[in-house]
Amino acid sequence: MLKKLPLFVRHTFYYDMKAAILFGIFGGAFLPFIAIVGRKIGATEFQIALLMAAPYIANAFALLWTEDVFGTGRVWYVVWPNVAGRAALIGMFFVASPFIYTLIIFIYMIITAIPFPSYASVMKTNYPDKERGRLMGYIRVGTACSWIAASTAVGWILEKGTIHYHYIFPVAALFGILSALEFGNIKVRREIKQRENLAGFSHITAPLKDESFRVFLLVYSIFEFGLLLVLPLFPLIQVDKAHIPNFVAGIFGTIFAGMWLAGFFFWGRFVDKHPLKSLLAWLFFVASGLPFIYLFTYDLWFLAVAQGVAGFIFAAIELIGYVVITRMASPKETPRYMAVHTVLGGVRGATAPFLGPIIMNSFGPDIAFGASALLMVSALFFIKAKRGLMI
């Protein structure tokens, strides 16, 4: 398939894939263990909620980076913030308290939110519309393969002592830095590097004039609010109720990555052949099963199934933003559309994860998971009922 594509597309895919494989090592060795390790070293429910909310809160800062304010070109904004953010994780070697642990991860999340608008712009420019979903799906397959190996190995090491995160997370950060540097070899097609001013309010809000985009934002917000509501409850239940061993946490990371990989095969092909409305409907349907699993049991075998469901749906979530926006927006408008999408994600992420533990402590976990399921099912009915809208 790649041989039939233009040279610049193959060049982009080559370095994108190398970066993805290195990121998989970084992500697999670090991301599945953030909340589990945090809880085991004494993080409070609020700190766990903050860890889960951090990437979404950080997205609010995407507004500052919708334009090329330094005149360096879009790839720069993908590479160097990722280098800086991942380098901050080397500080894990010196962490002595849950507060510092949470603070370092929050700083990492804030800095590494900068690339999102520019990454979407690079994907829009360098990958053809008809092939973008499939190519990005293949890239995520590369990530998932190395993620599976890394999460399994790190789970085994942490089983010998949770304290080993002091060494594992900084080493993982080095692979993350190498990943960002590999992405720096990509050249954006027909790019004119020109210093621009920070986006004005009218530029930022311009995408909201697009009716299809507004509908997408509304229905996706209902769905994601339901998902984020219970996101911090998963590690709390796993540690406090199911008493998950670190090695099993690593296996859960492997299951997540395996289904994430399968999800990219499925969703990457699906999105190139079907309307986005169908993609959203299927995503909401599958995702609504996640809180139902936690409603009925905390058995580790069933929670492993939940991890598989989560991996499958997060593959779609990762693709959706980029695919929806690159289809709706022109190359010039793509970073602005992406910024609006990620900023609203920040608003959802700054509220829903903190409500989840409050609802659980006030009314019980069943009510919290039930509310999550209700929101996701509501999003499903909304998107199915909205006829004649092309998204």
User: b/e per residue, 335-356, with b = 16+ CB within 10 A?
Assistant: bbbbbbbbbbbbebbbebbbbb
Domain boundaries, the chain: 2-185+203-385
Question: Taking phi first (over 0 means left), then psi (-120 to 50 degrees means alpha), and beta for anything else, what does residue 243 get?
Answer: left
pLDDT at 216: 86
Q: Are 148 and 29 in contact (CB under 8 A)?
A: no
Nearest to 31 by CA among 92, 105, 110: 105
Predicted confidence pLDDT, tens digits, the chain (391 residues)? 566 777 888 888 899 999 999 999 999 999 989 999 999 999 999 999 898 888 878 777 666 666 666 666 788 888 999 999 999 999 999 998 999 999 999 999 888 888 877 887 788 788 887 777 778 778 878 888 898 899 989 999 998 989 999 999 999 999 999 999 999 998 886 655 555 555 555 556 667 777 788 888 889 999 999 999 998 999 999 898 888 898 898 888 889 888 887 887 788 777 777 777 888 888 899 899 999 998 888 888 999 999 999 989 888 887 777 677 777 777 677 777 777 887 788 888 889 999 999 999 999 999 999 999 999 999 999 888 776 555 5
CA angle 133, 139, 144 (to 5 degrees): 120
Burial tier of 316 (Cβ tally within 10 Å: 0-12, 13-18, 19+): buried
368: Cβ contacts below 8 Å, ≥ 6 apart:
229, 230, 233, 356, 359, 360
**How is residue 317 written in tokens?**
């979530």
Distances in Å between the Cα of 107 and the Cα atoms of 80, 119, 157, 292, 389 are: 15, 20, 26, 33, 40
Q: Are 354 and 48 in contact (CB under 8 A)?
A: no
pLDDT at 75: 86
Residues in the chain: 391
Burial tier of 215 (Cβ tally within 10 Å: 0-12, 13-18, 19+): middle
- pTM, entire model: 0.76
pLDDT at 201: 53
Q: Are 105 and 51 in contact (CB under 8 A)?
A: yes
Which residue type does 90 have?
I
The highest-level CATH class for domain 2-185+203-385 is: mainly alpha
pLDDT at 68: 60
Q: What share of the chain is helix, strand, coil (3-state, %, to 5)?
A: 80, 0, 20
**How is residue 176 written in tokens?**
């993350």
pLDDT at 390: 52
Distances in Å between the Cα of 174 and the Cα atoms of 27, 77, 82, 325 are: 11, 19, 11, 31
Burial tier of 319 (Cβ tally within 10 Å: 0-12, 13-18, 19+): buried
CA angle 197, 198, 201 (to 5 degrees): 120
